[in-house]
Amino acid sequence: QVQLVESGGGLARAGGSLILSCAASGGSFGDYAMGWFRQASGREREFVAAIGWSDRSTYYADFVKGRFAISRDNAKNTVYLQMNSLKPEDTGVYYCARKIKGRLVPHNAGNRLEYNVWGQGTQVTVSS
């Protein structure tokens, strides 16, 4: 059974940067699209970014476009989220997730139901 472990969260100032990592173990990684979601206190988990397994296509939530970048290194079974120009509203727990088998396309990239393996999350706090 694949396991996902996020790391790299912490405290940052507004305008600063953080890099999150998600390491997969115990199962297949390279054949699956991967995504990042986040959940702020009292709010629902929301889509942040996703990356395909073959063509490395990427999709982003509008509120992170131009600031965040998702990438993956299949040799290391790791997916990354580079977060720049951080804002206080980026505060939350960030989760990586493995999508169910199949292509990553615009209409499914941000759907939580398309992801069936989740990490435990890493806290990101951005101070103003």
Per-residue model confidence as pLDDT tens digits over 1-37: 899 999 999 999 999 999 999 999 998 888 899 999 9
Give pLDDT tens digits for 28-63: 888 899 999 999 999 999 999 999 987 679 999 999
CA distances from 42 to 38, 45, 60, 93 (A): 12, 10, 22, 11
Answer positive or negative: Cα dihedral of 50, 12, 65, 75.
Answer: negative
pLDDT at 55: 67
Question: Left, alpha or beta for 91 (phi > 0: left; psi -120 to 50: alpha)?
Answer: beta
On the question of pLDDT at 89 being above 90, the answer is yes
Token pair, residue 66, equals 């131009």
